[in-house]
Amino acid sequence: MENIYELIDRLSQDTTKTKLAPHPFLLSLKWMGWAVAYLLLSFIFSGLRPDLMLKLHEPWFDAEIALIVSIFVATTVSAAILSFPDMHQMRKLASAPAILFALFLLMMFLSWRTDNPPAPLPVHSFECTVNITLFSLLPATWTFYAMRKFASTHYHWAGSISLLSAFSAGALWLRLHEVNDSITHVVEWHYLPMIGIGLAGWWLGKRILKW
């Protein structure tokens, strides 16, 4: 019993201040700020597609870009929420990406149906997936590194959402850089790989974020 009292006395005298964890919204804004800076820097080196101003007058292209941006924002916020063991009591907001992915799937289906006659396929194929993946490595790395400082109890979902956030940023970069009007190609090599990316994140989440 004396040892217990001594332990309590030592703990009560420990005045070391614990740094409070940031709110998930502030955390996600920080991650988004890094990603935006990374995108802008990438565009300086890669450039924007020369016909971008014309493309921005096409409703389906505008809808696609708007939904990619929305998915990036939603997945980043969701990843920040999932970093905390209690998800900051924002479980519904953490699952918001599912709704946006469903809307994106519907939008791309309608865009594909209206692409008649279909735009010619580019001469390349899987290179787009490789480029998006390589672009995503840096934002995925810094997100996982930051998330390890917290105590996620949903590491599978956290890992999956984090990789989807990074991949969506890469998809946005390539869509604004590459001169390509083929919806079939975009769906097949830009967006369908998100399924594999999500599964990879599910696996990595347990390996990296489990504590």
Do residues 175 and 131 lie in contact, with contact meaning Cβ atoms separated by under 8 Å? Answer: no
What whole-number distance in Å separates Cα of residue 23 and Cα of residue 30? 11
pLDDT tens readout for residues 48-59? 999 999 999 999
Write the Ramachandran bin of 53: left for phi over 0, alpha for psi from -120 to 50, otherwise beta.
alpha
Do residues 75 and 145 lie in contact, with contact meaning Cβ atoms separated by under 8 Å? Answer: no
How confident is the model at residue 21, as a pLDDT?
A: 72
How confident is the model at residue 115, as a pLDDT?
A: 84
How confident is the model at residue 5, as a pLDDT?
A: 65
Six token digits for residue 2: 């004396």
How confident is the model at residue 121, as a pLDDT?
A: 85
What whole-number distance in Å separates Cα of residue 58 and Cα of residue 106? 17
Task: Count CA within 13 A, CB hemisphere, residue 160.
Answer: 16
How confident is the model at residue 19, as a pLDDT?
A: 66
Delimit the domains of the chain by residue range: 23-209
Query: Quick one: what percent of the chain has pLDDT higher than 70?
Result: 91
As a whole number, mean pLDDT of residues 114-137 equals 90
Whole-model pTM: value is 0.88
How confident is the model at residue 187, as a pLDDT?
A: 93
Six token digits for residue 145: 């590194």
Q: Is the predicted pLDDT of residue 9 greater than 70, yes or no?
A: no
What whole-number distance in Å separates Cα of residue 178 and Cα of residue 86? 41
Residues in Cβ contact with 103 at an 8 Å cutoff, skipping those fewer than 6 apart: 67
- Residue whose structure tokens are 């289906």: 109
**CA 158-17-32 angle, 5° bins:** 35
What whole-number distance in Å separates Cα of residue 32 and Cα of residue 171? 15
pLDDT tens readout for residues 80-123? 999 988 887 888 999 999 999 999 999 999 999 888 888 888 88
